[in-house]
Amino acid sequence: MAGTAGRSGRRPKPTARKELAGNPGKRALNKEEPTFTPIKGVAPPEWFIEDDLKLAAIMWELTTKELCGQGLLCVTDLAVLERWCVAYEFWRRAVRNIASQGNTITGAMGGLIKNPELTAKKEQESEMSSTGSMLGLDPSSRQRLVGLAGQKKTTNPFLKMITP
């Protein structure tokens, strides 16, 4: 059994993002898709400051500026953005700890063992990768989200030959 019917395969691209890309597949667009209103800006969650997540708050500010500027951030995306910012904070902490402690540390039995921060770093990288791609924060997902937006469309000189 390959997967659940209707749920296997690549996730569908939202209609708004297909339109933004110029509908490169030229397939009919989903007219029944729910639409959400993009937000213009939003402050970081208060608990970022309360729990001393300064880097998460900084990344929130930088990321919302970019996403809101493109009209890509909606209220429904805020939980994913929150996860991304927290993962970034914890990833940076793990990297700092690895830099000071090294790849190996002394274990309970006195021998060298793999630094557990390496595992924490890898887990946060995975979280950042999955949530970041949902938001279009890495180059490949950004290309899929935006596609040809902002580029001038070139005219095909051969079209003039076949159109009256």
Q: Tell me, what's the pLDDT at 144?
A: 63
Contacts of 82 (CB under 8 A, 6+ apart): 45, 60
Every domain of the chain and the residues it spans: 15-23+36-148
If you average pLDDT over each of 35-49, 82-96, 147-161, which comes out highest?
82-96
Closest CA to 59 of 38, 88, 31: 88
Q: Which of 88-97, 125-134, 151-160 has the weakest average pLDDT?
A: 151-160
146 touches 136 (CB < 8 A):
yes
Q: Which of 25-29, 30-34, 59-63, 123-127 has the weakest average pLDDT?
A: 30-34
Q: Which long-range contacts (CB under 8 A, 24 or more apart) does 48-55 make?
A: 48/85, 53/85, 53/86, 53/89, 54/89, 55/88, 55/89, 55/92
Three-class DSSP category at 104: strand
Mean pLDDT of the chain: 84
More confident residue, 150 or 43: 43
Tell me the pTM.
0.73
pLDDT tier at 149, thresholds 50, 70, 90 = very low
Q: What is the DSSP letter of 149?
A: T
Q: Tell me, what's the pLDDT at 25?
A: 83
pLDDT tier at 148, thresholds 50, 70, 90 = very low
Q: Tell me, what's the pLDDT at 89?
A: 97
